[in-house]
Amino acid sequence: MAEPSKAGSGWRYGLARFDVLSDEQADAVHEHALRLLEEIGYRVSYTPLLRLLLDEGLDAEGDLVRLDRGFVTEKVALAPANFEVRGRSPDRSVTIGGSNVVLSPTGGQPFVLHPDGVRKPATLEDYRTLIRLTQAADHMHVTSSGIVEPDDLPVASRHMDMDYWAIRLADKPYTPVGATAEAARDCVDLAAVAFDGRDEIERSPVMLAIVNPVSPLQFDERMGGSLMEYSSAGQPVILMPFLLAGATAPLTLAGAVAQATAESLAGVALVQTVRPGTGTVFGAFVSEIDLHGGGPIFGTGGSGLATLTLAQMARRYGLPFRSGGAFTNSRATDERGVQESLMSLWPSMLSGPSFMLHAAGWLEGSLAVSLDKFAQDLDVLDAFEEILSMHLPLDEDAFALDAFREVGPGGTFLGAAHTLRSLKTSTPRPIASNDWKLMLDAYEEPAIDAGLDEDLLRFMAERSGTIERAAG
Amino acid sequence: MDELIKRLRDKLMGADRDGALGATRELLDRGEDPTRILQEGMAAAMLELGARWNRGEVFLPEVVAAAELFKKCSELVEPALLASGQKQEGHRVVMATVKGDLHDLGKNMVGAMMKTAGFEVHDLGKDIPTAAIVEAVRERQPAIVGLSALLTTTVPEQRGVIVALEEAGLRGKVKVMVGGAPVTQEWASEIGADGFAPSAPEAVRVALELLTGVPSGVE
């Protein structure tokens, strides 16, 4: 019986967020996170970013920097507790932080599982279909520009094509896809064309950039470069360590949680060093692995507990938290997919996230996306919103005393006046009610000024030409 | 069986660093044939470990730890091998994560699996320029070069390596295998790779088939 969420704005988390750690336990996680950064250090391979850190007076051996706690504490304190990201339509703006929950579909997949059961490398047409579906889905508040990676676009300029269609076919804020300094700069420049110039997007950000450390404890040139470009332009950054306990993090969850905390804090501190006051999201993804085969496994208790723990740590630092989402190793929308997705979503949702990536569409351990899985995930997101936004009106009419007087003991409420009166506001949506075909049929392409579209295409053509010439 | 050879084998399978290195040194100190140390002590341990892994009796971290220790023990034995003028037996593999990519978890798993199957593995590491891979092929003359990439944006480097091998006149002298999460058989075929595998155990099977032309039967 969820009220329709205001499209693009997220929904309010209505429950009290709860702590899983005692104060002493949280202190221990905090202390170990800081010790990792101080004693083990953080490798920053992107020279301009490294230089900034050295200018801060930090100790370093080559590109291995010791981030002392004073530096980390000072910088993290500069990060805002909440911030706004706007879409092409003002109605679509989202607030990240506070009790707002903002959802985004999956991202980064190279393959699409088609309705006929065949898995193929993604194409531009697949990409556009998924962007349209995101636009049509009320539960998706942010467009994922990396929802799939179209294999039929040239690699060197693909990031611009993807961001362009995310801007063109949807009017929600989006996560850009540029993942090197040069590509991130292109994405920022493209956004500047789309949103009235660089000064304007710096004043009022339009994208949520995703930056992943290469765990453990390093930013490679690509991620360091993209962090620097997005931060310089004032575009908020979601720091997203992706840890596999036993492989890229310690097998014991305490170590993995401390590492996730350290990597998120390091990223936040780096963003604040580049441009103080830029929005950041404390994000972490701790998965466990199959210790026989080595592949990640999803929906485990350990991963869920890690999520809840990291949400608490994010609250400790006054930072918005990213969790999520509907993860599975399944290669089909089958029972395993449902089970793993639900067991991933429950702790992700109970963590009270500010932002959730991969909330819909994820399959096969991040390798594939499917329309059916997208729709299946939307079904449960509906129920999650109802529960967690505490949509439980407790006014006098809701208590329905007049209905009891009408129906009496042993009667039925089916035809009661109260029931008829309440139909519009209290109709439950059954699970399995989202139909992606109907959603796509109902999709309306948001209007775009023809001149603006020409400007965007011209920018991309010129930039692609430059890239091609540079590649020889 | 020689007690010391057995001790080396057991310590290596148990990833007991001090025990395995100690046994290796003792064997070298008593003048043992380095080929025997390598084959009967070390390679045999890895083959047995691989069999146990296939049966589900050991975990992957145990295999990886043993493979890393195998490398340490090999470094002790190598000078004696060179001095005796003997060549290492076993098919040689050069592995690398391509330029621009720091992800090496999958490659490391494949390397560990290869060692358990008796391959001699030279891992160049991650973020390896094409020229360095070509040079390693020229110098070490492997039977197989394995190229790993996790990012869709670094996968094209695999094609670059194959082209560079052709230009260097080396393509016909080595089999090329490719792997990584976004890599497919279609991509491997498109770029002219000899083999592709979606998982570490598959990589071993494909490698054996490439070299022998016979289905390996490795499960």
- Is the pLDDT at B219 greater than 80? The verdict is no
Task: Judge: A222–B184 Cβ closer than 8 Å, yes or no.
Answer: no
With b for 16 or more beta-carbon neighbours within 10 A and e for fewer, the A170-190 pattern comes to bbbbbbbbbbbbbbbbbbbbb
Which of A222, A244, A251, A289 should be substituted to probe chain B, the one whose Cβ sees the most B Cβ atoms within 10 Å? A222
Beta bridge partners of B145: B94, B176
Alpha-carbon distance values, A131 to A103, A243, A376, A420 (Å): 14, 28, 17, 38
Task: Judge: B182–A110 Cβ closer than 8 Å, yes or no.
Answer: yes
Residue appearing with tokens 């030279």 = B122
Q: Which pLDDT value is given to residue A468?
A: 85
Calpha distance A435→B156 (Å, rounded): 37
- Taking an 8 Å Cβ-Cβ cutoff, which residues of chain A contact chain B? 110, 121, 149, 151, 155, 179-180, 214, 218, 220-222, 244, 246-248, 251, 291-295, 366-367
Residues of chain B with Cβ-Cβ distance to A369 below 8 Å are: none
Higher pLDDT, B202 or A216: A216
| Band of pLDDT at residue A278, cut at 50, 70 and 90 | very high
What does pLDDT average to over chain A?
Answer: 94
Q: Judging by beta carbons within 10 Å of its beta carbon (0-12, 13-18, 19+), is residue A39 exposed, middle or buried? A: exposed
Superfamily of domain A11-20+76-389: Trimethylamine methyltransferase-like (3.20.20.480)
- Summarize pLDDT for B69-127 with one digit per residue, the tens: 998 999 999 889 888 876 655 689 999 999 999 888 889 989 988 988 889 999 999 99
Nearest to B153 among A121, A179, A214 (CB): A179
Residues of chain A with Cβ-Cβ distance to B103 below 8 Å are: 214
The domains of chain A are located at 11-20+76-389
Residue appearing with tokens 């809840």 = A308
Q: Which pLDDT value is given to residue A1?
A: 36
Strands A64-65 and A143-144: unpaired
Task: Judge: A218–B102 Cβ closer than 8 Å, yes or no.
Answer: yes
Percentage of residues in chain A having pLDDT higher than 90: 88
Nearest to A246 among B56, B61, B156 (CB): B61
Collapsing DSSP states into helix, strand and coil, what is residue B98? Answer: strand
Task: Judge: B184–A121 Cβ closer than 8 Å, yes or no.
Answer: yes
pTM across the whole model: 0.91
- Structural tokens at position B117: 């199957």
The 3 state secondary structure assigned to A169-219 is: HCCCCEECCCCCHHHHHHHHHHHHHHCCCHHHHHHCCCECEEECCCCCCEE
Q: Which pLDDT value is given to residue A177?
A: 96
Count of residues for chain B?
219
Calpha distance A192→A202 (Å, rounded): 9
With CA atoms as reference, the chain B residue closest to A222 would be B100
Q: Judging by beta carbons within 10 Å of its beta carbon (0-12, 13-18, 19+), is residue A254 exposed, middle or buried? A: middle
ipTM > 0.90 (yes/no): no
CB atoms inside a 10 Å sphere around CB A342: 15
Listed range (A6-15, A76-85, A387-396, A453-462) with the worst mean pLDDT? A6-15
- Is the pLDDT at B141 greater than 90? The verdict is yes
| Band of pLDDT at residue A4, cut at 50, 70 and 90 | very low
Residues of chain B with Cβ-Cβ distance to A178 below 8 Å are: none
- Summarize pLDDT for A215-244 with one digit per residue, the tens: 999 999 999 999 999 999 999 999 999 999
φ and ψ at residue B210, rounded to 5 degrees? -60, -35
- Structural tokens at position A158: 């693909």
Q: Which pLDDT value is given to residue A211?
A: 96
Residues of chain B with Cβ-Cβ distance to A155 below 8 Å are: 152-153, 156
Mean pLDDT, rounded, for B129-140: 97
Residues of chain B with Cβ-Cβ distance to A212 below 8 Å are: none
DSSP assignment string, A104-148: -----B-EEE-TTS-EEE--HHHHHHHHHHHHH-TT--SEETTSB
Task: Judge: B153–A246 Cβ closer than 8 Å, yes or no.
Answer: no
Nearest to B60 among A218, A220, A294 (CB): A294
Residues of chain A with Cβ-Cβ distance to B199 below 8 Å are: 293, 295
Residues of chain A with Cβ-Cβ distance to B52 below 8 Å are: none
Task: Report which secondary-structure segment, H or E, holds A431.
Answer: none
φ and ψ at residue B142, rounded to 5 degrees? -75, 160
Strands A100-103 and A11-12: antiparallel
Task: Judge: A149–B59 Cβ closer than 8 Å, yes or no.
Answer: no
Sheet holding B195-196, edge to edge: B120-123, B92-97, B144-148, B175-179, B195-196
